[in-house]
Amino acid sequence: MGPKKAYAVVNRKAFPPLKNDLILRAARGEKTERVPVWVMRQAGRYLPEYMQISSKNGFFSICRSPELACEVTLQPIRRFNLDAAIIFSDILVIPQALGMQVDMIPGPSFPEPLCTPADLEKLNKNVDVNKELGYVFQAITKTRHALEGKVPLIGFSGAPWTLMSYMIEGGSTTTHSKAKRWLYTEPEASHQLLQLLADVIVDYLLGQIKAGAQLLQLFESHAGALGPGLFSKFALPYIRQISYKLKERCSESGVTPVPFIIFAKDGHFALEELSGSGYEVVGLDWTIRPTNARNKVGASISLQGNLDPCALYAPPEEIKRHVKEMLQKFGTQKYIANLGHGIYRDMNPDHLEVFVNAVHTYSEEMNATQ
C-alpha cells in the first residue's frame, strides 16, 4: 500500500458526521423536507476571495495544492447556504495525467494537441492515478475534514468525449470539427482513445470515493456537438461503462458506492438513454422544459438543474420569480436545484445568494402546503 492510499483510508475513519444530507437523499430518490441546491462553478472567478488567491497562484497550482484547493472549495460554502461543496479542480487534470501539457491562459490551451492517431502513442497508457492525481485525492480528504460535516463533498470528472475533444482541439472550440473529424474518419483510433479515457476515469473516480467524495458528477459538457447518432456511438457507451464499472470496482474493493450525476449539456436527444445508464441523477441545461425532461427520464430518476445562468443577471425579485416557477415545474422531490451550466464570472455574488435562499424558502413553503 502506497503512502497516499494509507493517508486517505486512515483519515476517512475520522470524517466528522454529516449534518446536512439533503442532496444525498434527493439523489437517492428519498424524501427531502426542502430542495437541496448547489451551483456549477460555485467556486471561481465571480468571487473576489477567489480572485485574491488566483492573483497570486496559477490555476493548476491551486488545483495541485491540497491547502489552496480546500480553501477555494470552502469559499462559497462560507458565503451561501449551499447544500453541497464541489472539490476545486478541473476536468483537464486527466489529459495532464495522460502526459499532455495543459496551460490555462486564461482558457485551456494544449501546446501539443493530438493531431493524428499516431500521437496516441505519446500518451501514458498505464496511468497510476495515485501517483498522477493523488493531489486531488489529498485535496478531497483535507476538504472533507475542513467541512466538518456541514455539507457533502462532490467529486467529478470530465466524460471521455468531452476530454477527447479538448485533447484534439487543443482548447475551446465552437465546432469541435477537428475532434469530430476523428469520429468520422478514424473511428477505431477514436474508440481506442475513448476507452483509455474511460478506464482512467473509473480509477480516478474510485480514488475520489476512497478519499472521501460523497457524490460524483460526470461532465459531458460537449454532448451537444455530437447529435443523436454520434452520441450513441461515441459518448453513451462510455458514459454507461463508467457508471457500471465504477459500481463493480466499488464492490470488489469493499467501498460503498456514492450517488452519481450525469450532466450531458445540450444532450436532450439522449435523455431517455441517459436515464437508463446507471446514474441516480440526470443533470439538465436550461434549454429543456422540466416537464419534458421528467417525461423522458421517468419517475425513478432524480433531476438536477436548470435555471439559465443568465437569469441571475435579473433583479432579485425576478430571480425569485424564476426560482418559484422552476420549483413548481420540477416539484420538490427527487430534485436538486442548480443552474443549467456554470455561473458566469461577471455575476454579482449577491444574486447567487438570492437564488440559493429562494430555493430554500419556496421549497419549504411548497412542502408545508402539500
Residues that bind ligand 1CP (CB under 6 A): 40-45, 54, 59, 86, 88-92, 104, 106-108, 156, 172, 219, 221, 265, 342
H/E stretch holding 184: helix 177-185
CB contact at 8 A, 243 and 275: no
Minimum CB distance to ligand 1CP, residue 336 (Å): 14
Instruction: Give the cell for residue 249.
Output: 470496482
Minimum CB distance to ligand 1CP, residue 329 (Å): 23
Kindly tell me which of 106 and 187 has the beta carbon lying closer to ligand 1CP. Answer: 106
Q: What is the 3-state secondary structure (H, E, C) of 111-137?
A: CCCCCCHHHHHHCCCCCCHHHHCHHHH
Q: How far is CA 333 from CA 119, 263, 305, 366, in A?
A: 48, 19, 13, 11
Kindly tell me which of 153 and 196 has the beta carbon lying closer to ligand 1CP. Answer: 153
CA distance 192 to 215: 28
Kindly tell me which of 215 and 332 has the beta carbon lying closer to ligand 1CP. Answer: 215
Minimum CB distance to ligand 1CP, residue 107 (Å): 5
Judge residue 23's burial from the number of C-beta atoms within 10 Å of its C-beta, 0-12 exposed, 13-18 middle, 19 or more buried: buried
CA distance 91 to 98: 13
Kindly tell me which of 92 and 213 has the beta carbon lying closer to ligand 1CP. Answer: 92
Nearest to 127 by CA among 153, 96, 157, 172: 96
Nearest to 332 by CA among 297, 292, 293, 368: 368
Amino acid present at 189: A
Minimum CB distance to ligand 1CP, residue 173 (Å): 7
Kindly tell me which of 44 and 160 has the beta carbon lying closer to ligand 1CP. Answer: 44
Helix (H, G, I), strand (E, B) or coil at 155: strand
Minimum CB distance to ligand 1CP, residue 328 (Å): 27
Kindly tell me which of 61 and 251 has the beta carbon lying closer to ligand 1CP. Answer: 61
The string of DSSP codes covering 219-283 is EETTGGGTHHHHIIIIIHHHHHHHHHHHHHHHHHTT-----EEEEETT-GGGHHHHHTSS-SEEE
Minimum CB distance to ligand 1CP, residue 221 (Å): 3
Kindly tell me which of 46 and 362 has the beta carbon lying closer to ligand 1CP. Answer: 46
Kindly tell me which of 43 and 288 has the beta carbon lying closer to ligand 1CP. Answer: 43
Minimum CB distance to ligand 1CP, residue 247 (Å): 22
The string of DSSP codes covering 48-85 is HHHHHHHHHS-HHHHHH-HHHHHHHHHHHHHHS--S-E
Minimum CB distance to ligand 1CP, residue 154 (Å): 8
Kindly tell me which of 63 and 202 has the beta carbon lying closer to ligand 1CP. Answer: 63
Kindly tell me which of 91 and 164 has the beta carbon lying closer to ligand 1CP. Answer: 91
CA distance 344 to 156: 19
H/E stretch holding 20: none
Q: How far is CA 249 from CA 22, 97, 244, 285, 370, in A?
A: 26, 21, 9, 30, 41
CB contact at 8 A, 84 and 21: no
Minimum CB distance to ligand 1CP, residue 305 (Å): 13
Minimum CB distance to ligand 1CP, residue 345 (Å): 8
